Amino acid sequence: MSKRVLVAPLHWGLGHASRCVPIIKDQLAMGNEVIISAEGGPKALLQEHFPNCKFSHIPFVPITYPVDGNMVRHLMHNGLLLLKSIWKEHKLLQAFVREEQIDLVISDSRFGLWSKKVPSIFISHQIHIKSPVFERLINRFNRWVMDRYSEVWIPDFEKAPGLAGELSHPKHLPKNAKYIGPLSRFNSGSRGQSTEAWDLVAIVSGPEPQRSIFEAEVTRDCIEKNLRALILKGKPEKKEEQSIDEIQVRNHLADDEMVAALSNSNRIVSRSGYSTIMDLHALGLKAEYYPTPGQTEQEYLALLHSADPITSKHT
């Protein structure tokens, strides 16, 4: 019997929405009806892939990024607001499940979207969260959240270190957790056809203001070195383009165009977001990773993949 499935990615750049693409494809292939909760860039990306799906929106408090890069202090100062937001979205979900007759909830890193009425699944590679302070307390809360869900899906290889290392391979795995393998919207081993070759392709998506800071740094470096470069801003909801000397700046590329550009570049630079790591692994490509300052997850992943940015041991 067909199910009505709610899929809700976290609004934090495009990564969480991007890795939901194969999840949604699987649900549709099973004959289920998928309702997607997203807005802004994530909504634009998912509408591109699933124009026939119904889109809705369960409100949340947008996660902002501090200008000084001190994410831990920022979250501590906004901790109460974050907790209220989690509880509010949990309450809103209950009404949504009832009104839309939802049979299954799949939440990608949205903490409050569990339900006691229907099965709910939490997708996360951060089973263990690294933090310079209060790490034990933070992980106790993280486990509390995961315990609310029917299942926890870990998008990584079961065999350590996988692609996320200690983040996805903690000493003690939650009883309701299972590894489902890396998730990417790109087909494994695919290569795009392109007549253009690039000295450098930069993927600069992510939360503001650090996304724009990174874009400015990459642009300046490309101008100084006179590189023929393509900068991808990760903004599918915006259509304008621009050129600066030998640099093309694009808000977004369709999947086949992006694969072609990445495959025909001498260098790829990117933030060390986990979804990007999974995408490049699927394509068999390497990148130079630059973590978002103060984001301990990206700092760890950049270090993990620094010797060989995309491991080949699992291919």
**How far is residue 53's CA from residue 143's CA, in Å, rounded to a whole number?**
32
Of 71-75, 199-203, 243-247, 250-254, the least confident: 71-75
- Report whether pLDDT(193) > 70: no
pLDDT on residue 313: 39
| Enclosing H/E stretch for 9 | strand 4-9
For strands 241-244 and 247-250, give the pairing. Answer: antiparallel
Angstrom distances, CA of residue 149 to CA of 21, 105, 275 = 21, 10, 22
Enter the pTM of the model: 0.92
- Report whether pLDDT(135) > 80: yes
Q: Which tokens sit at 288? A: 């130079």
For strands 151-154 and 120-123, give the pairing. Answer: parallel
**How far is residue 305's CA from residue 272's CA, in Å, rounded to a whole number?**
9
- Report whether pLDDT(287) > 70: yes
CATH number listed for the domain at residues 4-179: 3.40.50
pLDDT on residue 30: 98
- Report whether pLDDT(76) > 80: no
For the beta sheet containing 288-289, the strands, ordered from the edge strand earlier in sequence to the opposite edge, are: 241-244, 247-250, 229-232, 198-203, 265-270, 288-289
Burial annotation 273-310 (CB, 10 A radius, 16+ → b, else e): bbbbbbbbbbbebbbebbbbbbbbbbbbbbebbeeebb
Residues 181 and 154 sit within 8 Å (Cβ to Cβ): no
* Helices 40-49/15-29 angle, 10° precision: 30
Q: What percent of the chain has pLDDT over 90?
A: 74
- Higher pLDDT, residue 103 or 64: 103
pLDDT band at 10 (very low <50, low <70, confident <90, very high): very high
**Strand-pair partners of 106:** 7, 121
Q: Can the peptide bond before residue 132 be classed as cis, meaning omega within 30 degrees of 0?
A: no
Handedness of CA 152, 154, 157, 162 (dihedral sign): negative
Of 64-68, 75-79, 260-264, the least confident: 64-68
* Helices 274-283/255-263 angle, 10° precision: 70
Q: Can the peptide bond before residue 161 be classed as cis, meaning omega within 30 degrees of 0?
A: yes
Of 309, 102, 282, residue with least CA distance to 181: 282
Q: What percent of the chain has pLDDT over 70?
A: 89
| Cβ neighbours for 216, distance < 8 A, ≥ 6 positions apart | none
Looking at residues 283-309, what average pLDDT do you find? 88
For strands 120-123 and 54-56, give the pairing. Answer: unpaired
Looking at residues 203-212, what average pLDDT do you find? 84
pLDDT on residue 311: 41
According to CATH, where is 3.40.50 located in the chain? 4-179, 198-304
What confidence tens digit (pLDDT) does each residue in 30-73 have? 999 999 999 999 999 999 999 999 999 998 866 666 665 565 66
Looking at residues 169-185, what average pLDDT do you find? 97
- Report whether pLDDT(282) > 70: yes
pLDDT band at 191 (very low <50, low <70, confident <90, very high): low
pLDDT on residue 294: 81
198-304: CATH class = alpha beta
Q: Which tokens sit at 146? A: 């995961």
Looking at residues 299-315, what average pLDDT do you find? 67
